[in-house]
Amino acid sequence: YMYKRMFEVVRQYRHLKLLKRAGRGHDPSGVDGTEEGSLAVECPACPHPGRNMPENIDDIPEAERLFQQTLMMDANFRLKMKDRGATDVALGPGWAYCIESSRLDAHVHEFAGYPEPNTCNAELNAIARANNGRRGYLATGVGLVMCARHALVRKKAAGSLVEGEKFCIMDLLALSTLHGEQPSGVVFTYDLACQYEKKFIRRMLSYPDDLQLDFDPFKIRFAIPKKHWPVHGPNHTRWSLNFLELIGRIYGEGIEAGWAHINPISWSTREMAPQARNETLDSHWDAYNFQKKINLGRQILRQVKEAFAMYQKQLKIFEEYSATFPEATITAWTAWVRRWYADPKSKPDPFEEPVVKTTMSDIQLRLAKEEEAELARGQLPTHDLTPSAFLSIGLKLEDDQYVGCNMRQMCATAQGKKSIRDQARLQQARNALRCRIQNWQKTQDLYMPQVTLLRGDDVEDDDSNSGDDESDPTAESDDPVVKAETIALWLPSALPVGTVLDSVGRSIRTMEIELRTAQAHDALADIRRLRRLITGVSQFRYINVSGTGQRANTRIQAIFKKFQAKVNLAASRYRAAYQALCSLDHNGSWSTALCPLHDNDIRGPGKDDDGIVDPREGRREISWIWCVPDVEPSEQECDVNSQEFVDGTRVEWTTAMARVDRWREEKEWLLQEMELILEYLEWQASWWLTQRSRRQERDAALLSGVAAYAEQQADVCRQLAFKFAKLWKPFLCDQKITPKWFGNYHTQSSTNDGDDLDDSDVESQYSANEDYEYDDID
C-alpha cells in the first residue's frame, strides 16, 4: 500500500516543481490557468516573438538568416509503453513537453489513414521492424522535436507513437511546437525528410485551425541529418545540410544525444501508466533542458572559436584551389551553383558526383596506351650530347631505376613459373638499363670528372656488400655484380657536400634545378591524372561490378592495382625530385609551390574510393596536390576523358565553396545567437520581476516569500547573462568585433557582477548534475 502511495507522492512532487519553476504560483489564475507548453524550459538562443525578436522582422534585410528556426525530428523505439490496462489522471496535460494524450489519440484516429508512399531507396529497416512489433504495447516509441542547433527539447513536441512512426503524428508534434511563433523561416531535419516533405503542405491544410501556422508554410525547408544522408543514395543533394544555404553548420544528429540521455529510463517508463509516463519524461527533459541552458555560454564560446578558425582555414584552401582554374571557369561554376540554389528541384545539381560511363574496353585501352608510352621512353642518342640533353637522359635513367625496383618487388611476391618468367624479364631489363647507364657514364666523365673517384668508391662498397643483398630475390650470395637499379648516377644533387665543381659542373647544377622543378610538376600532373582514372575505375567497380561472383571483381581489382602502381611510381619520382631540389637549392622559388608528399596527400578528387561521403564533410580538406597550379596540361592529360576531368574538379570546387559558405554562415549565426541569448535572459529577468506583486493575499509572510522567489529567479537570469557576456567578450575583442550588447555588460547594478555566480547556484534548482555537451559529428 505505501509503495503505491510513494509513487503518487513522487508524481505530485515533480508536478509541483514544474509549476513552481514556471512561476505558476505567482499567477492569480493559479494552476488552472496554465497553458499548453508553458512549463517547458525554452532555448534562449532560438528566436521567440516578443522576447528576443523585433516586432516587424519583415523590415529587417537579413531577417531570413537572423531569425530562422531550426528543428530536428526523430522517433525513438526504445521508449515503448506496455498495455497493462492501467488508467490514471493527468496532472499537467500537455503543459510541458508531451502532447496531451486525448488530443494525440483523436488526431491519429482521424488522420492515420493518410497514404504515405515511399519512393526512396534508403534502407531504414529499423522503422519497419519497430512499427510491426505492436502486440502488447500501447505505444511502440516516442516522437520528438528538438532545437537543431542546441539540442533542447521543444515545448509540446513529444508524443507516443500509438500507430507507429506515422507522418500525421510527426506533423502534430511539428505544428504544435511552432504554433504561435513567427520565425522568418524554418528548417526541419528528419531521417525521412525526402518523403516527409512531399505532401507536408497538403496534410497541414487538412488539419484543424490550431495546427495551422502563423507564417508562410512555404518558408519551411527540409533536410536529412548528416549521418543518415549517405544511405539515401544519389539525387538527394538538396536535402544535404552540407549544401543548403543559410543554415550554418547544423548537423541534425543532436537528437541522438537526447535519446542517449533519456534511454536509461525506458525500462521504467514502459511499465508505467500513460499519464505517469508522460510526466516522468517531462521531468527528465525539464532538467535536461535547464542543464543545456546554463551550459550555453561555454558551448557557444567553443563553437565560435572553431567557426572563426575553420572559416579562415577553409577559405585559404578554397582560394588556393580556385587559383588553379581559369577565371571564366570559376564564373561559370559560380553561376551554376547560384541557379541551383534558386531552384534545386529542376536545375542540374552542381554538387552531384558525375556518373563515369566507362567500360572495360575503355580501361584496357588506357592501359595499352600507357604501356606504349613506357616502351617508347627515351633511348640514348648516338650523336654527342649537350649538357641539357646529358642531364635529361640522366633523369630518365633514374626513372628507369625506379621501374626496376618495382619489378624486383613484383618478383619477390611471385611464385612458381610466373616467378621465373618475371625474373627473366627483370634480368633483361637490367641488362638493357646497364648498357644505357654505361654509355651515359662515358659522357658524364667529360662533363663531371669529379664523379670518377666517387663511382669507384661506390663500386667497391657495393662489391663488399653484395652478398648481403636480401631484398633481391634473383641475387645469389656469391654474386659480385652490382644490380643496374642500384647503380649510383651521381647527378649534381647527389654529390657530397663540399664537392668542388668547375664552370661546366655549376652550369649542369643550375640546369638540374630547372629540370627537377619541371620533373616535380610533371610527377604531380601524373598523380592527379592517375587519381582521376582511379576514381573512374572505383566508380565503375561500384556501379557495374558490385554483387556476387569473383571473376569480374578480380579483373577490375587487377586493373585497379596497375593504376595504383603507376601512382606509386609517379610519387617516387616526385619525392626524388623534391629531395634533389632540397639538396640543390633549399629555399628556392620552387619551395613556394611544392611540398613534401606524404601517402595521405595522394587522395581525391571528389568522394572516397568506396563511394561514401565522409560524414565530416565540413572539415574535409582538399589535398595540396590539387592546389598546385598546373604548368601546361600535357597532350596525354588533355586527351584522357577531358569532360570527366572537368566534372570531377567541378564537384571538388563546388563542395569546397560550400564548406566556406557554411563556416561563414556559422560565424554569423553564433554572433547572432549571443545577442538572442542575452536578450532572452534579460527578458526573463524582467518577466520574473513583474511576477512579484501579482498575487493578492492577506498573508504578508506569503507575499514576501513569493516576491523573494521572483527576485531570486530574476537575479539568477541576470547573473547568467553577465557570466555569458564575460565568457564571450575576450574572444570578440581579440577578433575586433564590438556587438551592440557590449556596453550593457561593463557594470551591473546588482550586487553581483556575474563573477561570483557558480554553476552550482543555478544547478541547485534541478537534480541534473551532468554537463550535457556533445561534440558535433560533422
Q: Provide the grid cell at 598.
A: 606524404
Q: Kindly report each contact of residues 330-334 with a partner whose C-beta sits within 8 Å and lies 24 or more positions away, as own/partner.
A: 330/653, 333/650, 333/653, 333/654, 334/657
Query: Is 15 within 8 Å of 91 (Cβ atoms)?
Result: yes
> Cα separation of 418 and 411, whole Å?
9
Under a CB-based contact definition with an 8 Å cutoff, are residues 108 and 168 in contact?
yes
Residue 308 within a domain: no
Higher-confidence residue of 391 and 153: namely 153
The grid coordinates of residue 718 equal 541576470
Residue 53 β-bridge partners: 49
Is residue 174 included in any domain, yes or no? no
479-495: pLDDT as tens digits:
456 777 778 888 888 88
Query: pTM for the full model?
Result: 0.74
Dig out the grid coordinates for 709 from the structure: 522567489
Residues 272 and 281 sit within 8 Å (Cβ to Cβ): no
CA distance 418 to 420: 5
Q: Report yes or no on 457 lying in a domain.
A: yes
User: What angle is formed at CA 567 by the lines to CA 566 and CA 572, rounded to 5 degrees?
Assistant: 95
Q: Name the pLDDT band for 271 (thresholds 50, 70, 90).
A: very high
Query: For cell 663500386, what's the residue?
Result: 459
Grid cell, residue 746, equals: 561593463
Nearest Cα residue to 147 out of 42, 260, 227, 225 = 42
Domain assignment of residue 482, given as a range: 390-439+451-490
Confidence category of residue 375, pLDDT binned at 50, 70, 90: low
Which value, to the nearest 10 degrees, does the dihedral of the CA atoms of residues 320, 326, 331, 334 take? -40
> Is residue 629, in this structure, part of any structural domain at all?
no
User: How far is it, in rounded angstroms, from Cα 159 to Cα 139?
Assistant: 10
Rounded to an integer, what distance in angstroms lies between the CA atom of residue 494 and that of residue 505?
Answer: 13
Strand partners for 240 = 224
Closest CA to 441 of 430, 457, 452: 452
DSSP-assigned states of every residue in 515-563: HHHHHHHHHHHHHHHHHHHHHHHHHHHHHHS-SS-SHHHHHHHHHHHHH
Q: What are phi and psi of 55, to 5 degrees?
A: -70, -45
Structure-block grid coordinates of residue 275 = 499519464
Q: Return the pLDDT at 74.
A: 95
Looking only at the bridges linking them, the beta strands covering 185-189 and 142-147 are unpaired
Q: How confident is the model at residue 407 (pLDDT cuts 50, 70, 90)?
A: low
How far apart are the C-alpha atoms of 510 and 157, rounded to whole Å? Answer: 73
Residue 287, C-alpha cell as written in the block: 532538467
Q: Which residues of 585-602 are buried (b: 16+ CB within 10 A; e: fewer)?
A: beeeebeeebeebeeeeb
Judged against a pLDDT cut of 50, whether residue 636 lies above it is answered with: no
CB 644, CB 539: distance < 8 Å: no
Does the residue 659 lie in any domain?
no
Each residue's pLDDT tens digit, 437-455: 888 888 888 878 878 877 7
Please identify which residue in the block is written with the cell numbers 662533363: 447
Residue 405, in any domain of the structure: yes
| Mean pLDDT on 553-559 | 68
Percent of the chain scoring above 90 in pLDDT = 43
Q: With beta carbons less than 8 A apart as the criterion, state whether 116 and 131 touch.
A: no
Q: Please tell me the total number of residues recorded for the chain in this structure.
A: 778
| Model pLDDT, residue 643 | 56
Percentage of the chain surpassing pLDDT 70? 76
Residue type, 144: L
Do the beta carbons of residue 120 and residue 195 sit within 8 Å? Answer: yes
Q: Which residue has the cell 549565426?
A: 669
| Selected residue with higher pLDDT from 627 and 408 | 627
Whether the CB-CB separation of 714 and 689 falls below 8 Å is answered with yes
Q: Residue 631: helix, strand or coil by DSSP?
A: coil
**pLDDT value, residue 303:** 97
Inside any domain, residue 134: no
pLDDT in tens, 297-344: 999 999 999 999 999 999 999 998 899 888 999 999 999 999 999 999
With cut-offs at 50, 70 and 90, classify the pLDDT of residue 430: confident
Domain count, the chain: 1
Cβ-in-10-Å burial (0-12, 13-18, 19+) of 50 comes to exposed
| Domain-located, residue 708 | no
